Every structure is written in structure tokens, then in C-alpha cells.
Amino acid sequence: MKTITVNIVTPDGPVYDSEVSMVIAVTATGEMGILPGHIPTVAPLGIGAVRLKKENSTELAAVSGGFLEVRPDKVTILAQSAELATDIDLSRAQESARRAEAMLQANKDDVDYQRAELALRRAKNRINVYEGNV
């Protein structure tokens, strides 16, 4: 079976480097699946899960902000933050989801709604990836 190298890189260091048979990521325009031999592409990523399919297993990573670069032999995901499902700190994600929800419901003028909402989405994304329901 043909495979393609996937790198997930963040400013704090590489997160993932392995051969997979298919990558599925959430880009700004929708889900995008990449198989080996894909045409060189660049696409911005949303907050979402990246599915890394191997022959008989699938790994998950939570990614937020950044973009995806596809070259014929290699896929690179550059994100401001990225964690594999196994590295996610669940209690921290739940805590920040609660905090963001509280901020959204507080209904105060000085709350930056956009940021709270983004924080909530990131936290929910982490929780979903951790629980494997994507």
C-alpha cells in the first residue's frame, strides 16, 4: 500500500512524524482528504481534528490555527498548537471549556466574545479528539 509522510510541526517543536496512508483534515473550506500522490497544495486549517489513517488503525490529533502544505511525497501541518489524542490533557481542556462558557454567558460588555468562542471551540475540539468522537 502506498504511504505518505506526515509531519505535524508547532512552534514548540515537532509533534508527529510518520508514514500514513491517508490524511483527513478540516480546512477553511471543508474537510479535505489527502492520499499519496496528491497535487502540491496549501490550505489554511480551521480548528478541528486531523485523522491520520494507517493500514489498520487511525490516529487523531487536535489542531488549531495554521495551515496544511502538501508536496508529492510529504504532508506538513504547521499549526500554532497541535496535540495527539494521547497527549491531550483532558482536565485542562474541560476546565478551559467551562471558563469560556462562563465568559460567554456572563453577558458583560468587557468580554471579548470572539476570543471566548474560539477558546471554547478549541477546548471542545480537544475533548472530542480525546474521546475519539469525530
Partner 1 sequence: MASLRDIKNRITSTKKTSQITRAMQMVSASKLNRAEVNAKAFVPYMDKIQDVVASIAQGSTETHPMMTTRPVAKTAYLVITSDRGLVGGYNSNILRTVMARIRQRHTSNDEFVILSVGRKGRDFFAKQGMTILESAIALPDHPTFADIKEITRKAVGMFSDGTYDEVYMYYNHFVSAIQQEVTEKKVLPLTDIQATGATASYEFDPSAEAILEVLLPQYAESLIFGAVLDGKASEHAASMTAMKSATDNASELIDGLTLSYNRARQAAITQEITEIVGGAAALE
State which residue, 69 or 101, has the beta carbon closest to partner 1: 69
Least separation, in Å, of the C-beta of 69 and partner 1? 6
21 makes contact with partner 1 (CB under 8 A): no
The reply on whether position 105 binds partner 1 by CB under 8 A is no
Torsion of CA 84, 86, 99, 48, to 10 degrees: 30
Please state the closest distance from residue 39 (CB atom) to partner 1, in A: 6
Q: Which of 79, 82, 86, 34 is nearest to 62 (CA)?
A: 82
Q: Does 58 bind partner 1 (CB under 8 A)?
A: no
Distance spanning both ends of the chain, measured CA to CA: 25
Q: Tell me how far apart the alpha carbons of residues 71 and 37 are, in angstroms, rounded to a whole number.
A: 8
Q: Which is nearer to partner 1, 37 or 40 (CB)?
A: 40
- Quick check: 22 and 31 in contact, CB under 8 A? no
CA distance 74 to 128: 27
For partner 1, which stretch binds (CB under 8 A), given 48-56, 71-79, 96-104, 117-125? 71-79
- With CB under 8 A as the contact rule, the residue among 18, 31, 35, 41 that binds partner 1 is 41
Output the smallest distance, CB 84 to partner 1, in A. 16
Contacts (Cβ under 8 Å, ≥6 apart) of 128 = 49, 62, 134
For partner 1, the binding residues (CB under 8 A) are 7, 9-14, 27-29, 32, 39-44, 65-67, 69-71, 76, 78, 80-81
